[in-house]
Structure 1
Amino acid sequence: MTIFFPNQRYTSKGEPELGVGILTNSNKGKIQLYFPTADETRMYALENAPLQRVVFKPGDTIKDTENQPLVIKRVEEEDNLYVYYGKDKKISEAALGDVSVIHGVDDRLFMGDVDTPKAFALRRETLQHEYERRLSPVNGFVGGRIALIPHQLYIAHEVSSRYAPRVLLSDQVGLGKTIEACLILHRLLVSGRISRVLILVPESLVHQWFVEVLRRFNMWFHIFDEERCASLDESAPDGNPFLDNQLIICSTEFLANSAKRTKQALTAGWDMLVVDEAHNLEWSVNKASTEYNIVALLSKVAKGLLLLTATPEQLGVESHFARLRLLDPNRYANYDDFVNESSDHKTIANIIEKLHLGKDLNTKDTTILKSLFPKENLKAITKEKSVAKDNLIENLLDQHGPGRVLFRNTRATMSGFPKRKAHLISLEPTKDKELWMERLSNEFTHEVTPSETTNKQQFWFAKDPRVEWLLTTIKEIHPAKILLICKSKEKVLALEKALVKHANLKTAMFHEDLTIVQRDKNAAWFSEINGAQILLCSEIGSEGRNFQFAHHLILFDLPLHPELLEQRIGRLDRIGQTEDIHIHIPYLANSKQHLLAKWFHKGLNAFENNIEGGNKIAELFGNRLLTLLKAHENTANNSEIKALISETSSFQTALLKNLADGRDRLLEMNSFRPKVAGKLIKQILSEDKDKSLERYLTKVFRHFDIEMEDRPSRTYYLKPTSIITETFPSIPQEGVSVTFNRKHALSREEISFLSWDHPMTTDAIDVVLSSGTGSASYGVLKATKSPGLLLEIIFVLETPTGQNIYVDRFLPNTPVRVVVDHTGKEVTNKYSIELLDKKLSTGQIDPLLDNETLVETLLPNMIKVATEIAEEQRTKEIANGLIRMNRTLKHEIDRLKILQGNNNNIRPEEIETALNEQLGLTSLIKNARIRMDAIQLIRKE
């Protein structure tokens, strides 16, 4: 058993790039190490710490804390620490200075502890894949279980490329703000630019967000409420529950109701704060709500900030200012100044549209451009150089667009949306009409005011006219899929019972009492061609799910809130829907449900058009509507209800006109640049089609005894067959289905979508590299004309880990392959990877190791030559990395400085952060070191 003791030196098997770590603390079943080279601290569980003790051997050169070197003659252990003796002095392990591990895998070779050439090839391939994965321009974008929607990818790319982004995402309903936010988070987390994230949402959306980030992006966030916090008060670091996890979701109401938890959240430190439904944070010049003040405080301590709201500026300048000041309180400090600012973008927008369409510019347009840009730019345009024209459009959008802090895409500028077709079905009971009206009145009252009804809700679905209509309709539109949403799980269960009794019908259910796994299975059955024809959902079916493969929606009852109705319809009405959506609303004539349907249809046209400003509508008309519905008892011509519908319609008409008149074309153009998005999609599709990941993971799973059952559509069922597979935490013992096909993954949400971003892929890479698989190997190359020895060494050029500094885009961990023969000559190009992988066979290394000259002289000389060659390559790679970094960052910094002169939305700290990052990256790249990762001895015969 390993005895952990302060000042011992270790390396991390999973993160060798951290360098040599110093054990600083060991208690309560945990050990803490500090890695000086990377300036990082790590905490490990005592029982399964992935650490390897660093022990230097005679012949190695080490340094003390004064940077004085010592060539080791012998090594002894005293009081759990190694002491290294040289010619005339000694250095204790506790007094070691800046040291690195440049040996280890060669020790395995000299001891004869070797793997097969196939294992070495797997390690070599793993290192190359990891290098290419980190370098990929779409790293962090390929792994989402999402359709590739251009505007979503453009926004995610633009925002995630910034330094500590602080933006407002305000796309219209159905355009995917949540997906955009998740894409941004995923890319920043995968690249290591952020690690601590707090998502703050209304209580009703906590579960929806949890499901969305997990199901679509494999990001495991922890839901925090008072119960969880209380359970962590004693065990969490510094007694702060918010320090116990890196990724957290909690409700705005939870923090608003607890000053203690708010204070803890404020002191926890966040790389990114995400706030959904930001328009619900009430603020005015004279007063701010508790929720708004909490978000304001959190936004000051968080480096990055994403605010999500579908409510446009036209619904209130004061509300819009309130959100902008959360993003940048210095830029938006005074409301009156904000109102008085003159920022007429229409002229610039008109010029951009003319340039884009190839129309002639008038004298006024040209004069404006001459005042903004050098004459050379304009000469290029007159010669119809498309590249110059595109660059000018980009510069105009950059310098004069408000999109630095605000992104808004609208349905008016997007294509791909279906039409909604409303079918309002008025039903008349054949008998007992008054009884049925009373029953439905009670049903309505129970659902809108459950606190007023203490008895369990009763249903009479055996003879309910709505159920009779439903059974007929299902037969008429068979085999079309039907999504039915209603208020409660009790209603779902009663409906399922009635349908099964009256028809031989494949019916699936989806409600809150089912586990997430069971919901997944039921949803999957519904998605199958021969699966369930109808899925019965409680209100939870309106949250976090995409059923756009179905085109019929039955609203068995109606919610009071317009936003909730839009959520229900939004399960089908989404960008990418391929057919028109048929929305069926059955009701008894002159019932409360009838009048509610009439208000939605005639007052808001909510069934056939998406609703703008649903919260504002509910605020203005909701209480009055509920009061009238409660009072309504079969009076079809109630004048008060007619007046309400008329007023609602007038308000909606005025609102839509206001929105149309107030459209900011410049903002919309800046929120979506098709050429950038098109390039991203092309790169992602290329990775989707490339089968190298599928081939690579097949090798890894076979090596580690993971059974792979082949299924259609590049889909497999994985199941562990031995205890070694416990090293794959993402593969459960009962097995899991996976696919490499994005389209298949979108239609089958219970199947994991594997990509280079997926945790199962990163698990596979980590397992291969941290387990030592293939790090030392011996092989035989037969039928060669010149017998002898070859030594193939894979070095890795590593940069020290820098917190939140994205070095991978310039110099990721780079494998350097060197092959030398026994004469000390480099022969890398002569012996290709393909040649060795094809012709190498296993052999016995022991006879070779019995040769003292070979072990003590020849092999060390070959290693020395290979290391010198790798060091030369290190110098070249560092120089290239610095050139790439300085070229890119200089362009970005110069661009920000130019933009700042014309666009007040450029924060000074953006430029300062960029300059600091340039300095940090320069240091990281210059200090990149070569580490020997794998070695293979080859005997030619």
Structure 2
Amino acid sequence: MKEPFLPGQRWISRTEPDLGLGTVRQATDRSVTVHFGAAGETRTYASDQAPLRRVEYQAGDTVRDREDRSLVVEAVARRAGLLVYRGGGRELAEADLGDRLAFSDPLQRLLAGDLEEPGAFALRVAALEWQHRRRKSPARGFAGGRVELLPHQLHIASEVAGRLAPRVLLADEVGLGKTIEACLILHRLLLTGRAARVLILLPDSLVHQWFLELYRRFNLWFHIYDEDRCRALEAGGANPFLDDQLVLCGLGLLAGSPERARQALEAGWDLLVVDEAHHLEGAAYALVEALGAAVPSLLLLTATPEQLGVPGHFARLRLLDPHRFPDLDAYLRQADDYRAIADLAAGLLAPEPLPPPQAAALAALLGPDLGARLEESRPEALNALLDRHGTGRAMFRNTRAAVAGFPARIVHLAPLEPSPRDPRLDWLADLLRSTGDKVLLICSTRAQAEAIAQGLKPRVRVKAAVFHEGLTLVQRDRNAAWFAEPGGARILLCSEIGSEGRNFQFAHHLVLYDLPLDPDVLEQRIGRLDRIGQARDVEIHVPYPRGGAHEVLARWYHEGLDAFRTHLHGGRELLERFRDRLAAPGDVEGLVEATRAAREELRARLERGRDRLLELNSFRPGASAALLDELRRLDGDRALEGFLLTLFDRLPVDVEEVGPRTYQLGSMGVLAEALPGLSADGLTVTFDRERALAREELQFLTWDHPLVSGALDLLLGGGGGTSCFGRWPDPKASALYLEAVYVLACAAPPQLHVDRFLPPTPLRVVVDAQGRDLTAALPRALLARSARPAAGQGLLARPEVRQELLPRMLARAGGLAEARAPRLLAKARQDLAAHLDREIERLRALRRVNGGVSEGDIEGLLHQKAALDTHLREARLRLDAIHLVHRG
């Protein structure tokens, strides 16, 4: 029977032993709350399922108190359910034990005769080594997404996730994958422990789509909040937003209710994500402004950052950093300066030698060191120029011009003769009869979408689905899913809400039944099909009656702006310039010609100025090359696949190969609860990224997958392989070997991400009965291959082995491990200093020339460096596993 939880007791987490000793803070019949002082973490568990092990030291053990004073335990007493250790004439209550103490459970299991065979030890050591690599890897959080490995997305995700408290505007052009970038950043922050509570605010129409993207692509289960859920959760008087860590919420719920906004603000978050940020106005803007001021990290997403004009764009930048962007006029003046910087960047990219005036200007901007070696250090100089003088610190915007992989746009203008009945309906019926392909139609209003659906019925027999704001979110998602099915709807009739956020790239026919006045909205419509990954050219159909406003708008877009065939830059500015003439066109030929000339002038101006700098800073292939190579290496690593299959077999999980690198996993009953995602019905998984992308029913198995982390926790936290005994039938071998594995671990708050420098690090030591260090002479593979299962209870029952030989051998092994630890700690501290000193100096250089860095950014890194160094110096060794090998 499990010991009852009492406040003051000390327990250790089986799944997270590196948190150190925990103290029970509160215990009820249903839950227990434990504080891990060394890591600064508090966990609440269900009492009957808590992955905790009672810490109870025995006579002969050495313990330390909170002042780091040692005590050799001579006796143990119990008082009201709590332990008291006695030794050296004093007592130490268990509540006063140091938080960083280790617990030598493997030795106790060994002496008790609780033995496993050598293979279990080998698997445990392999698991520790894989866990070490996984937690230190720069690819952690990026590897597990079911996404294509696109360099422009990885560059932004890596750059943003590497910041202390990222606050950026992700403004890639339509179709380049802002949602994927945000999810990669989010996934990295969650898996490395730098974020735990996340709030995502969206237009109501995108809530379920984000939910599915997060779950299907990243195995993240967010909870959708609406008014009904909030009412149910607050029935007991609690703040409903405290009930879950990961929350998806329609922006309207909070913007429309001061009470809900107050609750969300008081709940506290580590990261706030806001999609379609160009819609933030009035109460919605004030809400995000208040939340953004209280939340350390903020991601704003929009493909059309200037849809509300330059003042609206500036207002979004103010949400990110009001100190950096206090004044619109100053922002506009600074934007003018970017043109000169863009010219210098173009000079560094050109193959010709730099003209003397440009070289002198660059030397003045970059300093004497880089200035003296510009010609031989152009890439370094370009990176420094963009970093210190560009705009990308607060904003990233990849363009289609810089990112390859887009299809062509083929435009079909369809002028129709006017008639009392809408001629577009007959034209649409003919289009559907002439092609068997799927067709996406977007129009302005719900009423129009419904009218088209009714008008099609007597004209053509076709499966049609509608998508508009009059449907519930679930109905919209079902209709979109029906459209996506190969045998489902052939046409989806959308109101304007279908033009944002949705991905319909499986289709390649787009009908623009009417045309919006705003060019940015037009680009949003086209972007539903014209996206990275679109396999065919996009056919854009524009039907319109001759001689009316529709024809004027179609010609203005096609002949004046070239907005159907190409992605338009500066559409908002051009709209403002020609708005009055569009309202009363008069000379249509003159309007088209003037628009064409204005478009060319604007394109040339933008290419010379801020857009060029943003493009260069947002996608630097060299900066993401190392991460991309590592991700590709991990994708092809068959050693990982082999280890996991062995681990699944040990747990046990039924494994059946059903294709190349693809397996059917079967649950063994109770394991279904311990392994996330593995239900009683089983699970089909693949280690192949391309196969996972092509077949959505397959789970993509990487180190980031919760099933893998759950399997590792089950093995390492459950004690498997910690006390093993084997026989080596070799007459030349020594009589007895002790193979011990220690783990050097640093308990630190997760937001510090200490794993970058010192993840839990296994140290293997082998000694013989004479205390000789045989670690190098007897590598793990040799003992794993040579040792055979054997019963060791007889040997361990001998007093001279239990009381003299084994303690002496273990003391020698511990001493050897302790001697190796300082070198590892010194290396970790050197890596820490090199990494953060480099970043601190970079930010100082940035601050001298660019207001995009605040003094708080630098102070935060200095504080982080000092805290990390303190925790690293307090790292401790713990004995994790013992393998005793007898000659036989």
* 1:701 correspondence with 2:648: yes
Give 1:92 deviation, angstroms: 3.3
Show the counterpart of 1:854: 801
3-state SS of paired residue (2:56): coil
Give 1:211 deviation, angstroms: 2.3
Give 1:377 deviation, angstroms: 3.4
Give 1:789 deviation, angstroms: 1.4
Give distance in 1, aligned partners of 2:640 and 2:228.
42
Give distance in 1, aligned partners of 2:386 and 2:512.
47
* 1:319 correspondence with 2:312: yes
Given that 2:508 and 2:536 are in contact with CA atoms closer than 8 Å, whether structure 1 keeps it comes out as: no
Given that 2:278 and 2:305 are in contact with CA atoms closer than 8 Å, whether structure 1 keeps it comes out as: no
Show the counterpart of 1:570: 527
Give 1:132 deviation, angstroms: 0.6
Q: Tell me, which stretches of 5 or more residues in structure 1 are unaligned?
A: 283-288, 442-463, 475-480, 527-531, 626-638
3-state SS of paired residue (2:49): coil
1:669-748 superposed matches below 5 A: 669-748=616-695
Show the counterpart of 2:378: 389
Q: Are the structure 2 counterparts of residues 213 and 654 from structure 1 closer, same or farther at C-alpha, using a change threshold of 3 Å?
A: farther
What does the per-residue CA deviation read over 1:664-695, in whole Å, with 9 as the maximum and x for residues that have no partner? Answer: 22232122212112332222111111122221
Given that 1:74 and 1:84 are in contact with CA atoms closer than 8 Å, whether structure 2 keeps it comes out as: yes
Give distance in 1, aligned partners of 2:374 and 2:196.
45
**Partner amino acid for 1:608?**
R
Give distance in 1, aligned partners of 2:718 and 2:400.
51
Show the counterpart of 2:605: 661
What does the per-residue CA deviation read over 1:471-512, in whole Å, with 9 as the maximum and x for residues that have no partner? Answer: 4422xxxxxx6455578999999999999x979x9x999998
Given that 1:521 and 1:750 are in contact with CA atoms closer than 8 Å, whether structure 2 keeps it comes out as: no
Give 1:10 deviation, angstroms: 0.3
Given that 2:32 and 2:44 are in contact with CA atoms closer than 8 Å, whether structure 1 keeps it comes out as: yes
What does the per-residue CA deviation read over 1:74-119, in whole Å, with 9 as the maximum and x for residues that have no partner? Answer: 2233321123333534333344455613310111111121222222
1:474-623 superposed matches below 5 A: 474=436, 482=438, 484=440, 526=486, 532=487, 537=492, 539=494, 546=503, 548=505, 550=506, 552-553=508-509, 555=511, 566-567=523-524, 569-583=526-540, 607-610=564-567
Given that 2:115 and 2:723 are in contact with CA atoms closer than 8 Å, whether structure 1 keeps it comes out as: yes
1:60-71 superposed matches below 5 A: 60-64=61-65, 69-71=70-72
Q: Are the structure 2 counterparts of residues 324 and 141 from structure 1 closer, same or farther at C-alpha, using a change threshold of 3 Å?
A: same
Give distance in 2, aligned partners of 1:617 and 1:391.
37
Give distance in 2, aligned partners of 1:889 and 1:259.
42
Deviates more, 1:253-262 or 1:741-750: 741-750
**Partner amino acid for 1:850?**
A
Q: Are the structure 2 counterparts of residues 424 and 368 from structure 1 closer, same or farther at C-alpha, using a change threshold of 3 Å?
A: closer
3-state SS of paired residue (1:200): strand
3-state SS of paired residue (2:531): coil
Q: Are the structure 2 counterparts of residues 786 and 676 from structure 1 closer, same or farther at C-alpha, using a change threshold of 3 Å?
A: same
Show the counterpart of 1:37: 38
1:886-925 superposed matches below 5 A: 886-925=833-872
* 1:804 correspondence with 2:751: yes
Show the counterpart of 2:735: 788
Give 1:913 deviation, angstroms: 0.5
3-state SS of paired residue (2:32): strand
3-state SS of paired residue (2:696): coil
Give 1:912 deviation, angstroms: 0.6
Deviates more, 1:414-423 or 1:880-889: 414-423
Give 1:885 deviation, angstroms: 0.7
Q: Tell me, which stretches of 5 or more residues in structure 2 are unaligned?
A: none
Q: Are the structure 2 counterparts of residues 148 and 857 from structure 1 closer, same or farther at C-alpha, using a change threshold of 3 Å?
A: same
Given that 2:465 and 2:479 are in contact with CA atoms closer than 8 Å, whether structure 1 keeps it comes out as: no
Give 1:598 deviation, angstroms: 7.9
Given that 1:211 and 1:544 are in contact with CA atoms closer than 8 Å, whether structure 2 keeps it comes out as: no
1:35-434 superposed matches below 5 A: 35-64=36-65, 69-86=70-87, 88-98=89-99, 100-235=101-236, 239-282=238-281, 289-313=282-306, 316-341=309-334, 343-382=336-375, 385=376, 388-423=377-412
Give 1:886 deviation, angstroms: 0.7
* 1:878 correspondence with 2:825: yes
Show the counterpart of 1:473: 435
Give 1:49 deviation, angstroms: 0.8
Given that 2:796 and 2:802 are in contact with CA atoms closer than 8 Å, whether structure 1 keeps it comes out as: yes
3-state SS of paired residue (2:267): coil
Q: Are the structure 2 counterparts of residues 860 and 656 from structure 1 closer, same or farther at C-alpha, using a change threshold of 3 Å?
A: farther
Give distance in 1, aligned partners of 2:803 and 2:378.
67
**Partner amino acid for 1:390?**
P
**Partner amino acid for 1:73?**
E
Show the counterpart of 2:763: 816
Q: Are the structure 2 counterparts of residues 191 and 908 from structure 1 closer, same or farther at C-alpha, using a change threshold of 3 Å?
A: same
3-state SS of paired residue (2:175): coil
Q: Are the structure 2 counterparts of residues 916 and 492 from structure 1 closer, same or farther at C-alpha, using a change threshold of 3 Å?
A: farther
Give 1:156 deviation, angstroms: 1.4
Give 1:839 deviation, angstroms: 2.6
Show the counterpart of 1:636: none
Q: Are the structure 2 counterparts of residues 868 and 644 from structure 1 closer, same or farther at C-alpha, using a change threshold of 3 Å?
A: farther
Give 1:915 deviation, angstroms: 0.2
Given that 2:208 and 2:477 are in contact with CA atoms closer than 8 Å, whether structure 1 keeps it comes out as: no
Q: Are the structure 2 counterparts of residues 801 and 559 from structure 1 closer, same or farther at C-alpha, using a change threshold of 3 Å?
A: farther
Given that 2:11 and 2:54 are in contact with CA atoms closer than 8 Å, whether structure 1 keeps it comes out as: yes
Give 1:649 deviation, angstroms: 9.6
Given that 2:483 and 2:492 are in contact with CA atoms closer than 8 Å, whether structure 1 keeps it comes out as: no
Give distance in 1, aligned partners of 2:428 and 2:874.
73
3-state SS of paired residue (1:750): coil
**Partner amino acid for 1:678?**
A
Give distance in 1, aligned partners of 2:477 and 2:816.
54
**Partner amino acid for 2:532?**
I
3-state SS of paired residue (2:116): coil
Give 1:805 deviation, angstroms: 0.4
Show the counterpart of 1:455: none
Give distance in 1, aligned partners of 2:224 and 2:27.
30
Given that 1:600 and 1:607 are in contact with CA atoms closer than 8 Å, whether structure 2 keeps it comes out as: yes
Give distance in 1, aligned partners of 2:731 and 2:702.
40
Give 1:902 deviation, angstroms: 0.8
Q: Are the structure 2 counterparts of residues 23 and 508 from structure 1 closer, same or farther at C-alpha, using a change threshold of 3 Å?
A: same
Give 1:375 deviation, angstroms: 4.5
Give distance in 2, aligned partners of 1:202 and 1:601.
30
**Partner amino acid for 2:168?**
V
Show the counterpart of 2:772: 825
Given that 1:820 and 1:828 are in contact with CA atoms closer than 8 Å, whether structure 2 keeps it comes out as: yes
3-state SS of paired residue (2:704): coil
Given that 2:143 and 2:631 are in contact with CA atoms closer than 8 Å, whether structure 1 keeps it comes out as: yes
Give distance in 1, aligned partners of 2:456 and 2:772.
77
Given that 1:67 and 1:98 are in contact with CA atoms closer than 8 Å, whether structure 2 keeps it comes out as: no
Given that 1:408 and 1:668 are in contact with CA atoms closer than 8 Å, whether structure 2 keeps it comes out as: yes
Give distance in 2, aligned partners of 1:486 and 1:700.
51
Give distance in 1, aligned partners of 2:378 and 2:731.
60
**Partner amino acid for 1:262?**
A
3-state SS of paired residue (1:380): coil
Q: Are the structure 2 counterparts of residues 17 and 600 from structure 1 closer, same or farther at C-alpha, using a change threshold of 3 Å?
A: same
3-state SS of paired residue (1:158): helix
